[in-house]
Chain A
């Protein structure tokens, strides 16, 4: 009996680190280190004291294209980076799947689309995607200057591929950023992310 108990406790303790690491609104966001399309390394810990946006991305996904072909995502990146927010685009598509890009291809894409995130992180193993539980492209996360996750969800409230819906959508990420940067609590901290599935390696 005691041995079973000890065994259970051991299992529990083994399981604990994973539970602590999982991204969850209201608790510290898991730290990560990843390489961007210019070969530069970024750690979440480097950005203590700043708001950090994570934007899951797949340039071939029609839900992502809705926000890039309309210029909506670039507008958000420009506006918030100018206000001192760190905006990290993350690409978790595995090699051979839709949205996988080499560093050069990503830099060409950013230039062509006039996109200006702080950096585009290349995550072909999906490690960063799994760490945050990124489900879709787009899927947005916001981390506050203390390192706490304060938003996890959709970019807006219209889960469609239709650009015409953007002007009539409630922009969740801007709302969370506006509230948080003016010292208010985020009124809608979680929403259902929408889009294409993240193309993880199997």
Chain B
């Protein structure tokens, strides 16, 4: 599937319609939202009773516009879904690919530009009967921003045949799902033993990656732990890295854990859940 800018979105929507008429009905139509499109896609061509499938909310945005990560940062709001599903079908939470750092001085937001697919697991499909056609639908509430923000609501839906056989993977959507999977944060290896030292106005996040790391940044999953806009200072060591993260001005209570995503590149992001060692009391403070 060629990636597509807004200019060719209309053409591709028309192509998709043509496509869906010929092939299986595992295809949906792109809906227009301000400065972009949204559509609901399925990784599978059909659905088998009792087995999960994966759907994806697919956004394509005009140049310069963005939508938000689960923690939007200093402004904005993540996309929300209100599902309308048949009995016996349940949608899991959105799996959020690693975000981009979007700077609008003096703020920093976390989100996605150009194109993103947000995977959503669909579970508990036991209520379905083979031979039926099932419609999976949702209202998407999303805010699309550049300097200004435009809220939008789109009703997306997708129709899939229910079959007693294992579904085949849709060749049309496979590249999008595979790209999304690569961008999903992976659990950090236990050998990394991430830890955080509270050093007054900053957190010193240490990760033992086993090799020296030249560039990385941390996207916090919790609000108001770190100052989103402050530059993150990286110190590479032979066994890994230290990231110096400025605390949020809003932080009034001690933090026991720092949770977030450590991002090395677009296809290399890891979930970090690190205990925070409190600031040592004055008397015990050692000279460096």
**Nearest-Cβ distance from residue B149 to partner chain A, whole angstroms:** 5
Chain A, Cβ-Cβ closest to B145 = A196
Identify which of B8-16, B99-107, B258-266 touches chain A: B99-107
Residue of A98, A152, A190 with most chain B CB atoms under a 10 A cut-off? A190
How many B residues have CB within 8 A of the partner chain? 24
B74 surroundings in chain A (CB, below 8 A)? 135-136, 197
B-chain residues with CB within 8 Å of residue A162 when the two chains form the complex: 141
Q: Given contacts A62-B150, A194-B75, A196-B149, is CB(A161)–CB(B143) below 8 Å?
A: yes
Name the residue among B75, B104, B148 with the largest chain A CB count within 10 angstroms: B75
Q: Is the CB of B250 within 8 A of A190?
A: yes
B224 at the interface (CB under 8 A from A): yes
* A199 to B224 Cα, complex, angstroms: 21
Q: How many residues does chain A have at the interface if contact means C-beta atoms less than 8 Å apart? A: 32
Q: Is B204 an interface residue when CB atoms closer than 8 A count as contact?
A: no
- A24–B105 alpha-carbon span in the complex (Å): 20
Please give me the residue from chain A that is nearest to B104 by CB atom. Answer: A197
Residues B143 and A62 in contact, CB atoms below 8 Å apart? yes
Q: Is residue B190 within 8 Å, beta carbon to beta carbon, of the partner chain?
A: no
Do B250 and A192 have beta carbons less than 8 Å apart? yes
CB of A190 within 8 A of CB of B224, answer yes
CB distance from A172 to the nearest CB of B (A): 13
Given A135-B107, A136-B75, A190-B224, A25 contacting B252 (CB threshold 8 A)? yes
Q: Tell me if B149 and A200 are in contact (CB < 8 A).
A: no
Chain A residues whose CB sits within 8 angstroms of the CB of B249 once the complex forms: 22, 24, 133
Residues of A contacting B: mostly? loop
Q: Is the CB of A62 within 8 A of B224?
A: no
Interface positions, chain A 1-30, Cβ under 8 Å from B, are: 22, 24-26
For B170-182 the 0/1 string (1 means CB < 8 A from A) is: 0000000000000
| Most chain A CB atoms below 10 A, which of B104, B105, B107, B149 | B149
Q: Verify A194–B77 contact, CB threshold 8 A.
A: yes
Of B75, B106, B141, B223, the contact of A196 (CB 8 Å cutoff): B75
| Cα of A153 to Cα of B224 in the assembled complex, Å | 11
Tell me, yes or no, whether B282 is within 8 Å of chain A by CB.
Answer: no
A202 touches B (CB below 8 Å): yes
In angstroms, Cα B286 to Cα A16, docked, is 26
Q: Does A35 contact B (CB under 8 A)?
A: no
Interface presence of A145 (CB below 8 A): no
- Complex Cα distance, B80 from A162, in Å, reads 11
Please tell me if A97 contacts chain B, counting CB pairs below 8 Å: yes
CB <8 Å contact, A161 and B106? no
The CA-CA distance from A119 to B109 in the complex, in Å, is 31
- Using Cβ atoms and an 8 Å threshold, which residues of chain A touch B76? 196
- Specify which of A62, A153, A190 is in contact with B149 (CB 8 Å cutoff): A62
**Contacting pair B224 A192 (CB below 8 A):** yes
- A158-194: contact bitstring with B at CB < 8 Å (1 yes, 0 no)? 0111100000000000000000000000000111101
Which residues does chain A contribute within 8 Å of B143, judged by CB atoms?
62, 161
Which residues of B in the span 99-121 have a Cβ within 8 Å of any Cβ on A?
104-107, 109
Rounded to whole angstroms, the CA-CA distance of A77 and B76 in the bound complex is 25
Q: Residues of B contacting A25 with CB < 8 Å?
A: 252
Q: Which residues of B contact A (CB under 8 A)?
A: 72, 74-77, 80, 104-107, 109, 141, 143, 145, 147-151, 223-224, 249-250, 252
9 nearest A-B residue pairs (beta carbon):
A192-B223, A197-B75, A161-B151, A190-B250, A62-B151, A98-B148, A197-B107, A192-B224, A196-B149
Residues of chain A touching chain B, judged by Cβ–Cβ distance below 8 Å, are 22, 24-26, 60-63, 97-98, 130, 133, 135-136, 152-153, 159-162, 189-192, 194-200, 202
24 A–B pairs (Cβ distance < 8 Å), ordered by A: A60-B148, A61-B148, A61-B149, A62-B151, A97-B147, A133-B249, A135-B75, A135-B106, A135-B107, A136-B74, A152-B250, A153-B250, A159-B72, A160-B80, A161-B151, A189-B252, A192-B250, A194-B77, A196-B76, A196-B148, A197-B75, A197-B147, A200-B105, A200-B106
Beyond A190-B224, A195-B75, 15 additional pairs, beta carbon < 8 A: A62-B151, A130-B106, A136-B74, A160-B77, A162-B141, A190-B250, A190-B252, A192-B250, A196-B75, A197-B74, A197-B147, A198-B107, A199-B147, A200-B105, A202-B105
